[in-house]
């Protein structure tokens, strides 16, 4: 059997454009100026560490396609370190131990090892703990990459041993520069084909990529494959390549919760326009409208409350409308509820009152129900005093038993609900103030 000439493979292994365009040195790295800083005396601490080869363990936290893996490889190249890579999706403790064994072999020859762990947030607690002794004794320099908040997803023990760097979505200008480089690069990019593409179309890809360099390069590579024999990438090709591109949205990750937080705070802040924008962003990104409908109901109780009780009704109607009509018709009802809640009077009085009542319920123990307001359905219960001396409010003047008490005997009277001077709660507050004054005037209750 004839041996294969590995120096000139018959079927060379395909490498995506995004990988071929990965820079090897820091000067070619695009973006993240906030952590890489300028050259010279004003260089950031991370840039100085990379350029001097002074390694430390770190975690890169940022959206997809922002250069986390690339930066880790550049650090390894700068320090002439062995670069070992693990994916937390596919690897386990066995793979970690195998990587540590390789690191020890290099350590014997005086060479350091960088162990890069992609999607490190997917490792469980025991897997994360497996790194600790080797980070501690210097066997490896650990670099983790994650799209999730490390303070929620990583163990405190691991976090205390690493420096966290936050990477930001790339600006469209940076991505356009990278795309132009790929078009003209003869060694790693598409330059050998003599592709032609107008600047405006490059900028269009950069905008649609939504801060993700990998996505942008993937779209450019597909467009290049669709180019005609004259190697021209025209508007029709770009439209075909980008038509299904969605904005970044992770169903359950930090971006998800950041966007629902932005929606909620926009409603609370009485800005219907911003609230609609965040609603549209989540829908455009693939969020289930039912989830948003549930949160809108929560907003109606938490932030509008009794200042405008119609808000809760409108929110529930919107949810019900979506269940009946589905998308896209039902989404309009949710948008209607969002704009109403954002525009109406606000009160968190019920929210605060309920939280205080729950705190007392947990902290004060199982206090007895006063005898006069206990249930008395049987003769025995009545003989034991259940319901004795209870004053039926409807038999009293204005249907109010002034001075009556309803709290446990061993508990002080509390005022949890304090209506705000907005919306319907203005009238509710005036009514309660009058009733509380009557209670105070007619109270015969002894202090506990």
328-357: average pLDDT: 94
From CA 27, how far away is CA 17, in angstroms rounded? 20
Looking at residue 59, its pLDDT comes to: 94
pLDDT surpassing 90 at residue 43: no
63-85: average pLDDT: 92
Residues 328 and 376 in one domain: no
Q: Any idea which of 7-16, 46-55, 200-209, 298-307 has the lowest mean pLDDT?
A: 7-16
From CA 311, how far away is CA 183, in angstroms rounded? 54
Report the mean per-residue pLDDT for the chain: 87
69-92: average pLDDT: 91
From CA 182, how far away is CA 176, in angstroms rounded? 10
Residues 42 and 155 in one domain: yes
Mention every residue, 6+ apart, whose C-beta is less than 8 A from residue 424: 306, 307, 308, 309, 345
CATH code of the domain in which 331 resides: 1.20.272.10
Exposed / middle / buried, residue 117 (Cβ in 10 Å: 0-12, 13-18, 19+)? buried
Cβ atoms of 18 and 213 within 8 Å: the answer is yes
User: Does the predicted model carry a pTM greater than 0.85?
Assistant: no
Looking at residue 254, its pLDDT comes to: 60
More confident residue, 7 or 226: 226
Report the percent of the chain where pLDDT is more than 90.
Answer: 45
Task: Answer whether residue 429 is part of any domain.
Answer: yes
How many structural domains is the chain composed of? 4
pLDDT band at 447 (very low <50, low <70, confident <90, very high): low
Looking at residue 248, its pLDDT comes to: 56
Residues 180 and 124 in one domain: no
Task: Answer whether residue 91 is part of any domain.
Answer: yes
CATH code of the domain in which 229 resides: 1.10.8.60
Looking at residue 5, its pLDDT comes to: 41
287 token code pair = 């969020």
| Final residue in a domain of this structure, among 142, 166, 190 | 166
Residues 154 and 44 in one domain: yes
335 token code pair = 């948008």
Question: What are the pLDDT digits (tens) for 252-273?
Answer: 556 678 888 999 999 999 999 9
Task: Answer whether residue 57 is part of any domain.
Answer: yes
Task: Answer whether residue 382 is part of any domain.
Answer: yes
Residues 162 and 39 in one domain: yes
Residues 275 and 295 in one domain: yes
Looking at residue 192, its pLDDT comes to: 81
Task: Answer whether residue 10 is part of any domain.
Answer: no
pLDDT band at 331 (very low <50, low <70, confident <90, very high): very high
Residues 70 and 159 in one domain: yes
Residues 150 and 44 in one domain: yes
Task: Answer whether residue 247 is part of any domain.
Answer: no
pLDDT surpassing 60 at residue 184: yes
pLDDT surpassing 90 at residue 441: no
CATH code of the domain in which 119 resides: 3.40.50.300
Looking at residue 9, its pLDDT comes to: 46
CATH code of the domain in which 438 resides: 1.10.3710
| Final residue in a domain of this structure, among 316, 343, 370 | 343
Cβ atoms of 246 and 284 within 8 Å: the answer is yes
Question: What are the pLDDT digits (tens) for 131-160?
Answer: 999 999 889 999 999 988 888 888 899 999
Looking at residue 284, its pLDDT comes to: 83
pLDDT surpassing 80 at residue 249: no
Residue numbers of the domain that contains 141: 32-166
Residues 194 and 81 in one domain: no
Residues 206 and 284 in one domain: no
Question: What are the pLDDT digits (tens) for 9-39?
Answer: 455 567 889 999 999 999 899 999 899 987 6
Task: Answer whether residue 93 is part of any domain.
Answer: yes
Residues 280 and 327 in one domain: yes
From CA 206, how far away is CA 174, in angstroms rounded? 8
Looking at residue 194, its pLDDT comes to: 84
| Final residue in a domain of this structure, among 222, 242, 262 | 242
Angle between helices 289-299 and 310-325 (to 10 degrees): 170
Residues 207 and 154 in one domain: no
Task: Answer whether residue 20 is part of any domain.
Answer: no
Cβ atoms of 70 and 78 within 8 Å: the answer is no
């Amino acid at each position: 059997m004839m041996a294969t000439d590995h120096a000139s493979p018959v079927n060379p292994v395909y490498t995506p454009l995004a990988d071929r365009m990965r820079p090897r040195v820091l000067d070619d790295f695009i973006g993240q100026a906030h952590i890489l800083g300028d050259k010279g005396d004003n260089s950031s601490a991370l840039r100085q560490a990379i350029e001097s080869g002074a390694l430390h363990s770190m975690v890169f936290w940022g959206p997809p396609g922002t250069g986390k893996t690339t930066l880790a490889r550049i650090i390894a190249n700068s320090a002439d370190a062995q670069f070992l890579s693990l994916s937390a999706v596919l690897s386990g403790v066995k793979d970690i131990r195998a990587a540590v064994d390789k690191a020890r072999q290099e350590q014997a020859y005086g060479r350091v090892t960088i162990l890069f762990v992609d999607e490190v947030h997917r490792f469980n607690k025991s897997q994360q703990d497996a790194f600790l002794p080797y980070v501690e004794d210097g066997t490896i320099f650990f670099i983790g990459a994650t799209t999730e908040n490390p303070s929620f997803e990583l163990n405190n023990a691991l976090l205390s041993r690493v420096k966290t760097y936050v990477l930001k979505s790339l600006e469209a200008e940076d991505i356009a520069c990278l795309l132009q480089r790929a078009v003209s690069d003869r060694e790693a990019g598409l330059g050998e084909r003599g592709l032609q593409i107008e600047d405006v179309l490059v900028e269009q890809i950069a905008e649609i990529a939504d801060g993700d360099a990998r996505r942008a390069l993937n779209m450019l590579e597909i467009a290049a494959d669709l180019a005609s024999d004259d190697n021209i990438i025209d508007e029709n090709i770009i439209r075909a390549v980008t038509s299904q591109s969605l904005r970044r949205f992770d169903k359950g990750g930090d971006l998800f919760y950041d966007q629902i937080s932005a929606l909620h705070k926009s409603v609370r802040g009485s800005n219907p326009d911003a609230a609609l924008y965040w609603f549209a962003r989540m829908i455009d990104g693939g969020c289930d409208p039912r989830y948003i409908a549930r949160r809108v109901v929560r907003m109606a109780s938490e932030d509008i409350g009794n200042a405008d009780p119609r808000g809760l009704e409108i929110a529930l109607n919107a949810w019900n409308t979506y269940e009946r009509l589905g998308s896209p018709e039902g989404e309009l009802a949710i948008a209607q509820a969002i704009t109403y809640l954002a525009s109406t009077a606000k009160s968190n009085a019920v929210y605060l009152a309920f939280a205080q009542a729950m705190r007392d319920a947990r902290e004060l123990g199982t206090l007895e129900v006063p005898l006069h307001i206990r249930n008395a359905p049987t003769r025995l219960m009545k003989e034991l005093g259940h319901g004795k001396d209870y004053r039926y409010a409807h038999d009293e003047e204005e249907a109010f038993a002034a001075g009556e008490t309803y709290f446990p005997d061993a508990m002080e009277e509390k005022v949890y609900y304090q209506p705000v001077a907005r919306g319907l709660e203005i009238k509710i507050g005036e009514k309660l103030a009058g009733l509380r004054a009557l209670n105070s005037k007619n109270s015969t209750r002894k202090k506990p």
